[in-house]
Structure 1
Amino acid sequence: MKMKKILALTCAAAMVFGLAACGSAAADTTAADTTGAETEETADLSGTISMAGSTSMEKLANAVAESFMAKYPGVTVTAEFTGSSAGIEAVTAGSVDIGNSSRALKDEEKEAGAVENIVAIDGIAVVTDPANTVSGLTKDQLISVYKGEVKSWSELGGEDAPIVVIGREAGSGTRGAFEELLELEDACAYASELDSTGAVIAKVAATPGAIGYVSLDALDDTVKAFALDGVEATAENIKAGNYFLSRPFVMATKGEISEQSEAVQELFKYLASDEGKQVISGVGLITVD
């Protein structure tokens, strides 16, 4: 009788162990199948994606291209930085897949077939050389400076030195957004009009009394950013709606995203994912919820 009980328990234990082992093997097989499917999907995606446009979006475009190609080795992403208007013209002409614009699209651009896909929010920082003793401006003061109505820093509480007004070239998304937000279209008295964000930073840093505007994510310690209406130029203040100089970063397509190639569609899915949002945040931009 005792022997029968021992045999029964032994068999039961063996059955339980067997089932557990089978369950474990099944789980391992499922995990392997899932991983294999993901790997196969990643390997299967191939093609090219071409972008052109805003110089202010250079850091974002390069970061997205690098991380996307690492995830999808079969896809090649290229980017040129020709200015927002040129990027929109290129995408509507069909010479690139994506036109990068650091401003909202104009009605005529939309009528030409460009679709506005906002991928991030950027702030525009107003900068000066680090030696400038003025640390903040009101909105009205900023407008007066760019109109040429205020010509010396002494009128703003600073040294008796001329204000050198620096801006971007016509067609720049940064310039378009800056002038539109301040209602300064065709009203700015520029001493210099430069063709890239980097050129503005270099010019302002090297010119005593200079003032310029640049994308927030391009800020470095060679220049000093003004507080505007008492609010510092930070992502937190832009998210809170307290900083008045902010703009969309647009990756425009000719037609809806659903009409694009598989690779382009996947790029937009990637930008909306947690992984893509980390890339956007990593270059100092604000993600779109």
Structure 2
Amino acid sequence: MKKNMMKTLAITGLTILAMGALAGCGSQNAETKAADTTTTAAAANDTTAAGSTAGTEAAKGDLKGSISMVGSTSMEKFATALGEVFMEKYPSVTVQTEFVGSGAGIEAVGNGSADIGNSSRNLKDEEKAKGINENIVAIDGIAVVTDSKNAAENLTKDQLINIYNGTTNNWKDLGGADQPIVVIGRESGSGTRTAFEELLKLENKCKYSNELDSTGAVMAKVASTPGAIGYVSLDVLDDTVKTLKLENTDPTPENIKAGSYFLSRPFVMATKGEISAQNENVKALFDFIYSDEGKELVKSVGLIPAN
């Protein structure tokens, strides 16, 4: 009897030890599973965060639609280059440009028919009063040009004023040949004309032989007309015309930035309201213009960055 009891106790002990071992093994599996779950959750969080970042980056490049710019012919070179580069960055955005003069551009943005009104002059107080915002994107110089055979080299500010108000009408008084001066200018409403006349205090005082409706037309007329003089945006200069010094100073970006060349004006991309109130496409365009890459574009077309 005692022997049977001892055998029973031994079997019971072994059973308890086996159950304990199994319990211990089960506990270890639970801990491993918990650790695996934690690791999986952390990985999932990392994946979600990465996906969120990727989504944000994708959203930046996910612009679609169009941007319409209307206005200054003097800004054609800059606006065209800007549109081309921006569309390369955002292939789903179309930048539409129309060059009809600063006044027309400001009117277009004011009445909502354009997103941006390009103006080669500062906005007037009455334009600002209509809620139009002046966003200066570059500084331009106004170059004074004559036909390539003209012997004159330099004009003082007073001499330039006297040419355009009709007081001086022959190049022989200015270091040139005995030849009539043919005074070329832009049409009424042109930002270049407005800036030129304001800088020289010649508003409504100029005596023009021809008033032309684009920068290109002024260049072509001056190039083909002996004794002609005209004013154009700095960035369109080429060897078809002769560029005159003013007060012995060449119209270069360096001289304009230094303040030694007196004929300079802003390039404005006007919006109805602040930039922050515009649609995503327009806001992205201004972000680009004011970026380092945008500043390099401004310089590449012969202009000075605004900031």
- TM-score class, shorter: 0.7 to 0.9
Aligned AA (1:64): L
Q: Give the match's secondary structure for 1:142.
A: helix
What's 1:96 paired with?
114
- Structure 2 counterpart of 1:240: 258
> Secondary structure, in 3 states, of the residue corresponding to 1:73?
coil
Aligned with 1:127 (options 131, 145, 158): 145
Matching residue's letter, 2:213: D
Q: Which runs of 5+ in 2 are unaligned?
A: 1-46
Larger radius of gyration: 2
Equivalent of 1:55 in 59, 73, 95: 73
Q: Which residue of 1 aligns with 2:282?
A: 264
Query: CA offsets, 1:48-101, max 9 Å, x none?
Result: 110100000001111110000100111111010010000000000000000000
Q: Amino acid of the residue matched to residue 234 of structure 1?
A: T
Deviations 1:211-238 (A, max 9, x none): 0000000111100111000110100100
> Which residue pairs with 1:116 in the alignment?
134
Q: Is the 8 A contact 1:42 1:71 kept in 2?
A: no
Secondary structure of 2:61 counterpart: helix
Match of 1:8 in 2: none
Query: TM-score, with normalisation over the residues of structure 2?
Result: 0.82
CA RMSD of aligned residues (A): 1.6
Counterpart amino acid of 1:185? E
How far apart in 2 are the matches of 1:222 and 1:33? 57
Long gaps (5+) in structure 1? 1-28
Answer yes or no: is the 8 Å Cα contact 2:153–2:175 preserved in 1.
Answer: no
For residues 179 and 37 of structure 1, what CA distance do their matches in structure 2 show?
A: 52
Partners of 1:156 and 1:43 lie apart in 2 by 57
Aligned residue identity for 2:226 = P
* Maintained 8 Å contact 1:121/1:287: yes
Is the 1:280–1:286 Cα contact (8 Å) retained in structure 2? Answer: yes
| More off after superposition, 33-42 vs 187-196 | 33-42
- Displacement over 6 Å in runs of 4+: 32-35
TM-score by length of 1: 0.87
Q: Which amino acid aligns with 2:211?
A: E
- Equivalents in 2 of 1:179, 1:131: separation in Å? 26
Q: Which moved more, 1:270-279 or 1:40-49?
A: 40-49
Number of matched pairs? 259
**Residue 236 of structure 2 aligns with which residue?**
218
Q: Which amino acid aligns with 2:147?
A: D
Query: Residue 184 of structure 2 aligns to a residue in which SS?
Result: strand
